[in-house]
A and B are shown apart, each in its own frame.
Chain A
Amino acid sequence: MSAAPLIDRAFLEKLERLTLRWRKSFPGLVGGHNTSRFPGPGQEFFDHRHFHYGDDLRAVNWRAYLRLEKLFLKMFQVEPRVPVRVLLDTSGSMGTGEPSKFVYARRLAAALTYVGLVRLDTICIHPFSSTLGEGMVCSGGRHRFAPVVDFLTGLEARDASHYAPVARQFASTYVQRGLLVILSDFLDDAGCEKPLQSLADCGHELLLIHLWADEDREPPWVGELDLTDVETGEKLEISFDEAARREYTASFDSYARTLQELAVRTGGRYIGLSTAVPFEEAIFGPLIHAGGVV
């Protein structure tokens, strides 16, 4: 299957200039592109420390030993490879809105994956709703992008979203810390703050990309409404007017701020995107501005 339905080739060429960016320092092998505060087998001198038993004798600063008769070990700066995981919300709520949040999220996931592939990062894409779905690991360059597109195209938006079991599954599956990109509308009736907090506590750097349709933030309808929750089927009758709309929007914005504060507090980043924003503009605008990619 070609990549045309999600992202066209011209746009992919533009994406090749970008690089996935993370702020935290993660240990890892050489080969990454973000400097870590952890020393490792690098080329550039970083610091000295006392020699301990079991350290590599090749890293001992023998000149300092001859002068001071103490063993000091040279430490080097490293740019480690960091695993990048993308959690894509495939719950039923993602299928609402015009254009659909799910389509928008799939395109974003594809774009971020392509950026990582170009920089030889290892990307793991996991769909999730009430549970963590089967993921797809891709690495090895841009020519591995086509299977990603096929994988994303085959996904569907259904079921209800439950962040708590998903977070537990993820934490138990991936012990190694890394960048965790979550593409979701973060609409879980049970709340998603605690699961996200637990993921951050596990050492993952969170990049929360909050997607919403305009009708999610500012419903255009007025009058007597008979509302149905797309995920739970729960109904609500409401008399909706301008004041109620303002109240609704304020509540939505408050929730978005909560997510943002959580991300910032845990050292991560938060990007709120309306699906009304053109896709290209979203990549080269808010995503770069927030440091998600550089």
Chain B
Amino acid sequence: MSLLNLSLGEFFALFGALSGIVLTLYLLDRSRRRQVVATLRFWNPAEHPPEARNRRRIQQPWSLLLQLLSICLLLLAIAQLQFGSRERSARDHIVILDTSAWMSARTGQITLAGQAKALARAYVRSLPAEDRVMIIRADALPTPATPFESDRARIEQAILDTTPGSAALDLNEALEFTSKVMRTRATRPGEVVFAGAGRIARHDADAGAGMPHIDNLRVLPVTLVAENCGIRKIGLRRSMTADGVWQVFVAVRNYGRAPRQVSLGLRFGGAPAGSRTLALQPDSEQNITFEYKTRAAGWLEARLLDRDDFAADNRAVLELPAMPLLKVAVFSDEPGLLRPVLASNPGVEARFLKTSQYDPGIDAQVVVLDRFRPARMPAAAGTLWIEPPSAGSPVPVRTVVQNAPVISWNSDHQLGAGLHTKDLRLGSAQVFAVSGTDVPIASVEAGPVIVARPGTPKLLVAGFHPMRSGMRYELATPLLFANMLHWMAPEVFRRTEIMAGSVGSVAHEFSADVAASDVTLTGEGQEAIPFTIQGRQLRFFTLTPGIVRLKSPEGEAVYSLTLPEVGETRWEPPKTALHGIPRHFAGLARATDIWPWLAVLGGIGLLAEWLLFGRARRSNFFRRAPARITSLAARLPWITRTRGRPVRKAS
């Protein structure tokens, strides 16, 4: 016999307090009432002579006893008195449902998740009704679906609502979380039940000894002898050698135990773009590279053409951005000078026009004015002036030097990065007078000979012609033009790296140290995704499949996280763990709840007291049915013995 809601001390304290209140009220109610009346002649009928008797402290002891007994019964009902051993009272269990991506694998007509849910429901139904259960959905993160709950309908609904995610199972995290919950939240710890396939990452399996020890661990395994080959990773980058060519990297893994030959197809915009047949050894991975030439934007899909048990990792999709060309208009009377240096860049589409054909509204992003000053400035985003006429130079010409050696390049600026010349002498060069925001890029002893003016539009003025001076044969010359074009139209030359992977934790390596303030990481809805940077490695975590864009000074990387994360190995539960649905719960002697009966008895007791001794009787409330109550009261001699006897007090 035990009390569920109150300790014995609390029960007695409450009962004592209530009894005191009831006794006080009782004594007050039964105490003599002082009343002033018009006359005493009718209160003292002649046929009842005065009779002295001792005043009793408690006039109706059975009324008091009935009240106290009823209150005791009601308190016991509130405290939930139970017959049966407390050892066999309700326990708290935790059911961990595996919701990793692997649980969407099919075996026949049912998925692994369906099997696990059926097992979990069977387990919950086998528990005693008093036991409470918490459902935890576990993939990369453990998420409680219910608190400790005894309502079986809600628990089963939570199980049925569980669906596989896209991440791999982090069992270590799930067991740690479960252990903590069991320690802090459970009233009387029961079993920890794992229902699922238990596919975990290899490093988790290697670190299995470090997993938290769970005493009452039970495993409800779902079985699938899976033969699966899946795309593990897909990446994309521009070819550095060929114009408009994308390099596509695909990693395919065989998770099964038999060697398999699979066909990998590549499609762009629905049209076949390539295919390859792979021979994969068991538990091995193979990388394949495709090259595909297009400047158009579109969807690139890699698909394994063979069916297997787990279809979610047979297809990966990437979004290819357009590969634009930089339009450059050159106004020169000697176009042959600049043609080689501009034509060598595959990302540049150059047009060479006579100075007499000058049009300020020409469709070009960069305009090159070769020893020519137009009447109206061009509307392009950037303008390169080469040896402008001294009278009309956008940057004032201070002097003209002859045979002057170039003594310095501004390597701190993007335009001068990587430029080195040795013993370079300029036959004739204009020296500019810089002011304001002008940045000298190259200088001779007399002053700057190449000046950049940031802003809109961007302006670059060279005081000498690179292709007419001694610099024509320098290696720095094409690099200088590349830097110029890159500075004036950076969006065209921005390096775009596109990678596909699985949801979960993603790491990105930078080639140099990058400040966190220079990095933005956004999801598909342009929402910011939190990240950390340690050294040159950026890490972020996402459980939602989608596209994540990483923008940094090194360029833009697009992560197409559409592949599910699949664990490589199967978790081996400890030998002490129990397996399967328990059968002995049904045989346990359960504690018997009697609080409803106690509550009813308490209520009946109070009602009886009210009818027999209470206001209902005193005020003759039930005038139509008093006979039965009166006759019942008349049978109790202790009630009627001294009633209606007036006593004259000696005054």
One digit per residue, 1 when the CB lies within 8 angstroms of any chain B CB and 0 when it does not, for chain A 144-182 equals 000000000000000000000000000000000000000
Given A189-B41, A222-B618, A251-B45, are A244 and B643 also a contact pair (CB < 8 Å)? yes
Q: In the bound complex, what is the Cα–Cα distance between A189 and B43 (angstroms)?
A: 12
Given A96-B38, A237-B648, are A247 and B32 also a contact pair (CB < 8 Å)? no
Whether the Cβ atoms of B59 and A223 lie closer than 8 Å is: yes
Given A223-B618, A244-B643, A255-B42, are A229 and B35 also a contact pair (CB < 8 Å)? no
Interface members, chain B 485-520 (any A CB < 8 Å)? none
* A243 touches which of B29, B40, B643 (Cβ 8 Å): B643
One digit per residue, 1 when the CB lies within 8 angstroms of any chain A CB and 0 when it does not, for chain B 9-41 equals 000000000000000000001111111111111
Whether the Cβ atoms of B648 and A216 lie closer than 8 Å is: no
B189 to chain A, nearest CB (A): 57
Contacts of A225 in B (CB 8 A): 32-35
Smallest CB gap from B618: residue in A:
A222
Q: In the bound complex, what is the Cα–Cα distance between A163 and B537 (angstroms)?
A: 118
Q: In the bound complex, what is the Cα–Cα distance between A30 and B481 (angstroms)?
A: 149
Task: Tell me, yes or no, whether A47 is within 8 Å of chain B by CB.
Answer: no
Interface members, chain A 211-264 (any B CB < 8 Å)? 213, 215-216, 219-232, 234-244, 247-248, 251-252, 255
* B40 touches which of A94, A221, A223, A229 (Cβ 8 Å): A229
B63 to chain A, nearest CB (A): 12
One digit per residue, 1 when the CB lies within 8 angstroms of any chain A CB and 0 when it does not, for chain B 32-64 equals 111111111111110010000001000100000
Task: Tell me, yes or no, whether B642 is within 8 Å of chain A by CB.
Answer: yes
Q: In the bound complex, what is the Cα–Cα distance between A130 and B39 (angstroms)?
A: 15
Whether the Cβ atoms of B644 and A236 lie closer than 8 Å is: no
Whether the Cβ atoms of B43 and A228 lie closer than 8 Å is: no
Whether the Cβ atoms of B33 and A224 lie closer than 8 Å is: yes
Q: In the bound complex, what is the Cα–Cα distance between A88 and B42 (angstroms)?
A: 23
Contacts of B620 in A (CB 8 A): 242
Given A234-B40, A248-B42, are A226 and B646 also a contact pair (CB < 8 Å)? no
Given A221-B33, A224-B30, A226-B32, are A239 and B643 also a contact pair (CB < 8 Å)? yes
For A101, A226, A232, A239, the residue with the greatest tally of chain B CB atoms inside 10 Å of its CB is A239
For B618, B644, B651, the residue with the greatest tally of chain A CB atoms inside 10 Å of its CB is B644
Task: Tell me, yes or no, whether B649 is within 8 Å of chain A by CB.
Answer: yes
One digit per residue, 1 when the CB lies within 8 angstroms of any chain A CB and 0 when it does not, for chain B 217-254 equals 00000000000000000000000000000000000000
Contacts of A109 in B (CB 8 A): none
Whether the Cβ atoms of A227 and B618 lie closer than 8 Å is: no
* B37 touches which of A229, A242, A251 (Cβ 8 Å): A229
Whether the Cβ atoms of A227 and B40 lie closer than 8 Å is: yes
Smallest CB gap from A229: residue in B:
B40
Q: In the bound complex, what is the Cα–Cα distance between A99 and B619 (angstroms)?
A: 21
Q: In the bound complex, what is the Cα–Cα distance between A224 and B649 (angstroms)?
A: 13
Smallest CB gap from B59: residue in A:
A224
Whether the Cβ atoms of B644 and A221 lie closer than 8 Å is: no
Q: In the bound complex, what is the Cα–Cα distance between A229 and B649 (angstroms)?
A: 13
Whether the Cβ atoms of B40 and A224 lie closer than 8 Å is: no
Whether the Cβ atoms of B644 and A244 lie closer than 8 Å is: yes
Smallest CB gap from A237: residue in B:
B649
Task: Tell me, yes or no, whether A135 is within 8 Å of chain B by CB.
Answer: no
B458 to chain A, nearest CB (A): 103
Whether the Cβ atoms of A224 and B644 lie closer than 8 Å is: no
Contacts of B647 in A (CB 8 A): 237-239
For B43, B59, B647, the residue with the greatest tally of chain A CB atoms inside 10 Å of its CB is B43
Task: Tell me, yes or no, whether B645 is within 8 Å of chain A by CB.
Answer: yes
Interface residue range, chain A = 35 or more
Whether the Cβ atoms of A230 and B36 lie closer than 8 Å is: yes
Contacts of A244 in B (CB 8 A): 643-644, 646
Q: In the bound complex, what is the Cα–Cα distance between A251 and B646 (angstroms)?
A: 15
Contacts of B35 in A (CB 8 A): 219, 221, 225-228
Q: In the bound complex, what is the Cα–Cα distance between A232 and B40 (angstroms)?
A: 10
Q: In the bound complex, what is the Cα–Cα distance between A230 and B445 (angstroms)?
A: 131
Q: In the bound complex, what is the Cα–Cα distance between A270 and B279 (angstroms)?
A: 127
Whether the Cβ atoms of B33 and A223 lie closer than 8 Å is: yes
Contacts of A213 in B (CB 8 A): 38
* A239 touches which of B36, B45, B642 (Cβ 8 Å): B642
For B40, B617, B618, the residue with the greatest tally of chain A CB atoms inside 10 Å of its CB is B40
Contacts of A79 in B (CB 8 A): none
Whether the Cβ atoms of A224 and B42 lie closer than 8 Å is: no
Contacts of B37 in A (CB 8 A): 96, 215-216, 219, 227-230
**Total B residues in contact with A, Cβ cutoff 8 Å:** 34
Task: Tell me, yes or no, whether A187 is within 8 Å of chain B by CB.
Answer: yes
For B32, B39, B643, the residue with the greatest tally of chain A CB atoms inside 10 Å of its CB is B39
Smallest CB gap from B642: residue in A:
A239
Whether the Cβ atoms of A228 and B33 lie closer than 8 Å is: no
Whether the Cβ atoms of B31 and A236 lie closer than 8 Å is: no
Contacts of A241 in B (CB 8 A): 643-644
Q: In the bound complex, what is the Cα–Cα distance between A238 and B42 (angstroms)?
A: 12
Contacts of B29 in A (CB 8 A): 223
Whether the Cβ atoms of B39 and A229 lie closer than 8 Å is: yes
B573 to chain A, nearest CB (A): 75
Contacts of B45 in A (CB 8 A): 247-248, 251
Whether the Cβ atoms of B646 and A238 lie closer than 8 Å is: yes
Contacts of A223 in B (CB 8 A): 29-30, 32-33, 59, 618
Given A223-B618, A242-B620, A243-B644, are A237 and B42 also a contact pair (CB < 8 Å)? no
Task: Tell me, yes or no, whether A97 is within 8 Å of chain B by CB.
Answer: yes
Q: In the bound complex, what is the Cα–Cα distance between A235 and B648 (angstroms)?
A: 8
For B31, B55, B642, B646, the residue with the greatest tally of chain A CB atoms inside 10 Å of its CB is B646
Contacts of A94 in B (CB 8 A): 38
A193 to chain B, nearest CB (A): 13
Contacts of B649 in A (CB 8 A): 235-237
Q: In the bound complex, what is the Cα–Cα distance between A229 and B44 (angstroms)?
A: 12
Smallest CB gap from A92: residue in B:
B38
Contacts of A234 in B (CB 8 A): 40, 651
Interface members, chain B 528-550 (any A CB < 8 Å)? none
Contacts of A93 in B (CB 8 A): 38-39
Interface members, chain A 71-120 (any B CB < 8 Å)? 93-94, 96-97, 101
Whether the Cβ atoms of A187 and B41 lie closer than 8 Å is: yes
Task: Tell me, yes or no, whether A185 is within 8 Å of chain B by CB.
Answer: yes
Contacts of A230 in B (CB 8 A): 36-38
Whether the Cβ atoms of A216 and B38 lie closer than 8 Å is: yes
Contacts of B59 in A (CB 8 A): 223-224
For B32, B38, B618, B630, the residue with the greatest tally of chain A CB atoms inside 10 Å of its CB is B38
Q: In the bound complex, what is the Cα–Cα distance between A163 and B141 (angstroms)?
A: 101
Q: In the bound complex, what is the Cα–Cα distance between A241 and B31 (angstroms)?
A: 14
Whether the Cβ atoms of B645 and A224 lie closer than 8 Å is: no
Contacts of B55 in A (CB 8 A): 224
Contacts of B40 in A (CB 8 A): 227, 229, 232, 234, 236
Contacts of A240 in B (CB 8 A): 644, 646
* B42 touches which of A220, A243, A251 (Cβ 8 Å): A251
Q: In the bound complex, what is the Cα–Cα distance between A187 and B41 (angstroms)?
A: 8
For B30, B45, B59, B620, the residue with the greatest tally of chain A CB atoms inside 10 Å of its CB is B45
Q: In the bound complex, what is the Cα–Cα distance between A122 and B194 (angstroms)?
A: 109
A255 to chain B, nearest CB (A): 7
B647 to chain A, nearest CB (A): 5
B621 to chain A, nearest CB (A): 12
Given A221-B35, A223-B59, A223-B618, are A236 and B648 also a contact pair (CB < 8 Å)? yes
A101 to chain B, nearest CB (A): 8
Contacts of A243 in B (CB 8 A): 643-644
B128 to chain A, nearest CB (A): 53
B30 to chain A, nearest CB (A): 6
Given contacts A228-B34, A236-B649, A240-B644, 12 further A-B pairs with CB under 8 A are A101-B38, A223-B29, A224-B30, A229-B37, A229-B38, A230-B38, A237-B647, A237-B649, A240-B646, A241-B643, A242-B617, A243-B643
The chain B residues found within 8 Å of chain A, CB to CB, are 29-45, 48, 55, 59, 617-620, 630, 642-649, 651
Q: Lowest 6 A-B CB distances belong to which pairs?
A: A238-B646, A244-B644, A93-B38, A224-B32, A187-B39, A241-B643
Between-chain CB contacts (< 8 Å), 7 pairs? A223-B32, A224-B55, A224-B59, A232-B40, A235-B649, A238-B43, A239-B644
